[in-house]
Amino acid sequence: GDVASAAGCKVSEAESAMTAIAADTGAALEVSELGDIRYVFPKGARGALGQKSFKIKTVEPALETAGKVGSYLARVSFGTTLIASIAIVYAAIFALLSSRDSDRDDRRGGGSGGGMFFGPRMYFSPFDFLWYWDPYYYERRAYRAQLEGARDMNFFEAVFSFVFGDGDPNAEFERRRWALVGLAIQRNDGALAAEQLAPFLDRPDDAVGTEDESFVLPALTRFGGVPEVDKASNEIVYRFESMESTAGGFAGIEAVLETAPRGFSTAMAEEEEISFSLATRSQKTMAAALGVFNFVGVVALGFLVGDPQVALRNPELVAAVTALLPGLQAYAVSFFAIPAARWFFTRRKNEAIRARNESRLEASRALMRPGKLLQTKLDAAKREAGARRVVTGDDSVYSSAKGAAKFDEEEFDRKLRERNGP
């Protein structure tokens, strides 16, 4: 129960994983008089597990790193291509115009003006290329942005943020949600009414304000709960017997709070709304201006390569530009198509997030000031709750550790049958 609560995983998965890890690390299993199993791991268990498992030590980290590097380079290459696209487009325009009207070039001094100005300036430093080789930059920047909010970004960051956004702020939401459910179960000694789970779960729209309690089924499946009827009130109570015992209190609290965003509360599961971009307004304006500058240049370049006079004067250059033009056009369009589509879907997602948060908030407020009917269900849950059992080595009647004292097998079997039934 402690592991399932802290990790937010199913009780069956926690039991299977704990047994496998105990076997791999030489852990001892202690059994209490009531039949509760306590896993006692030796010091350095994590290192021993890593040394024994080639997959954990080598394969999984390599695959994770490769995936992050590939995803990162794909995103960064899109942002850095903006500079190359602008340079190619306007250099080609300059060359085509020069070939069409050499006299005008002569009046301008032969075309040697010392360099072109490619649109609005943004904060840029040659050292910005240093973060190009960091495969975890996107994840780290997204996490920092949640804590710090909008901040000054360099050129690549601002363009990257404008086009692709800053990551999903709810990447850890499901883990936090199920850890909170496990924490609520432990706090209520393994027995709860459906309303006590509602601040953490999602109810269907047509279930709000009704007696439909089907939304608790995922929690029952994950934590091994069963519905029971309180004889005194005939109310349904959900009991999680495997969560009634603990090896030392609420093991899930620290794990939940470690990844909690600002304003996090254990009273309900709250999702963060998705920001279009965490760049400042001026930075987003500049990124959009550069995109427009590139788009206008691509359109102008398309007209130039279609000019018969230009094609006659420099057919080789026109042929080369024509070959590049489809790619340049696709990039110029996608530079705005991707943010436009992202804005549309982000708006719809945020509407759904606000609706779910509001539903869970109402459920949490109802628990703070319960009415008569809700109070009846809460009282029923308290009656059905078992006494919390803190399993320690003092009440152990059996241990798999070497040199452990022997025990009366018949007496242990009898007590186990009394607890679990025939």
CB-based contacts of 215-224 (< 8 A; 24+ apart in sequence)? 219/181, 221/10, 222/4, 222/8, 222/9, 222/10, 222/11, 222/178, 222/181, 223/1, 223/4, 223/10, 223/11, 223/181, 223/182, 223/185, 224/10, 224/11, 224/12
DSSP run (H or E) holding 13: helix 11-25
pLDDT of residue 125: 46
Q: Specify burial of residue 62 (Cβ count, 10 A radius: 0-12, 13-18, 19+).
A: exposed
Distance between CA atoms of 74 and 131, rounded to whole angstroms? 14
Q: Which residues pair with 398 in a beta bridge?
A: 31
Q: Which amino acid is at 28?
A: A
Q: What is the DSSP letter of 227?
A: E
Could you tell me the pTM of the whole model?
Answer: 0.70
pLDDT of residue 114: 39
Integer-rounded Cα radius of gyration of the chain: 32
Distance between CA atoms of 208 and 366, rounded to whole angstroms? 13
Query: How is residue 62 written in tokens?
Result: 């390599």
pLDDT of residue 248: 64
pLDDT of residue 83: 86
Query: How is residue 335 written in tokens?
Result: 């530079």
How many residues are given for the chain?
Answer: 422
For the chain, residues with pLDDT lower than 70 are 33-35, 55-56, 75, 100-153, 205-211, 248-264, 386-388, 392-422
pLDDT of residue 276: 92
SS3 269: coil
Q: Which residues pair with 236 in a beta bridge?
A: 229
Query: How is residue 352 written in tokens?
Result: 């759904």
> Using CA of residue 153, residue 157, residue 158, residue 161, what is the dihedral sign?
negative
> Number of helices (H) and strands (E), helices first, in the chain?
17, 8
Query: How is residue 216 written in tokens?
Result: 């608790």
* 67-124 pLDDT tens trace: 777 777 776 777 788 888 999 999 998 888 887 665 344 444 444 443 333 333 344 4
Q: Which residues pair with 227 in a beta bridge?
A: 238
pLDDT of residue 403: 55
SS3 398: strand
pLDDT of residue 361: 93
CA distances from 87 to 69, 97, 113, 373 (A): 27, 15, 16, 71
Query: How is residue 295 written in tokens?
Result: 């788009």
pLDDT of residue 126: 44
Q: For residue 146, count other CB atoms closer than 10 A to its CB.
A: 16
Q: What is the DSSP string of 50-64?
A: HHH-HIIIIIHHHHH
Q: What is the DSSP letter of 150?
A: S
Distance between CA atoms of 248 and 389, rounded to whole angstroms? 9
Distance between CA atoms of 315 and 88, rounded to whole angstroms? 18
Query: How is residue 130 written in tokens?
Result: 């240093």
